[in-house]
């Protein structure tokens, strides 16, 4: 059973989907089940390049990692999003960008970031 906001990836073609409405069926792509991406949480900051760090102020700024994550063609943070109650705001990055964004929303319950190699990370 799927849950809202879960992220699934096709391990064949690389399609990634986020659940905006749940149903009973299994998510399938390229003829096989899509794989749920677990939200990795790093309480001890051991993988300091991936953890989204929320800085609250007038707006919500999210920076990925206390150490800058690579933003190269082969390895980069694809997107970051903040979830606040019923609101989801996502910012997409390109290689060469800085892995940080300031959102219009003032509040964030938590943030998630997706690395194209190391997967999904939660603040
Ligand atoms: Fe990474």
* % of the chain residues with pLDDT over 70: 95
Residue 2, domain member (yes or no): no
Alpha carbon of 25 to ligand 1 centroid (Å): 31
pLDDT of 47: 65
Residue 20, domain member (yes or no): yes
Same domain as 45, residue 24: no
Nearest Cα residue to 111 out of 69, 120, 119 = 120
pTM of the model as a whole: 0.92
pLDDT 10s digits, 62-90: 999 988 899 999 999 999 999 999 999 99
Same domain as 82, residue 67: yes
Alpha carbon of 8 to ligand 1 centroid (Å): 18
Same domain as 111, residue 91: yes
Alpha carbon of 15 to ligand 1 centroid (Å): 18
Same domain as 61, residue 18: no
């Amino acid at each position: 059973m799927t849950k809202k906001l879960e992220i699934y990836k096709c391990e064949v073609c690389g399609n990634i989907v986020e659940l905006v409405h749940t149903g009973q069926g299994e998510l399938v792509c390229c003829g096989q089940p899509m794989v749920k991406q677990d939200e990795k949480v790093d309480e001890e900051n051991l993988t300091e390049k991936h953890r989204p760090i929320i800085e609250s102020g007038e707006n919500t700024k999210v920076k990925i990692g206390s150490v800058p994550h690579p933003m190269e063609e082969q390895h980069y943070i694809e997107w970051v999003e903040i979830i606040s109650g019923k609101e989801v705001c996502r910012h997409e990055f390109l290689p060469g960008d800085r892995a940080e964004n300031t959102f219009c929303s003032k509040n964030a319950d938590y943030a998630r970031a997706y690395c194209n190699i190391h997967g999904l990370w939660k603040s």
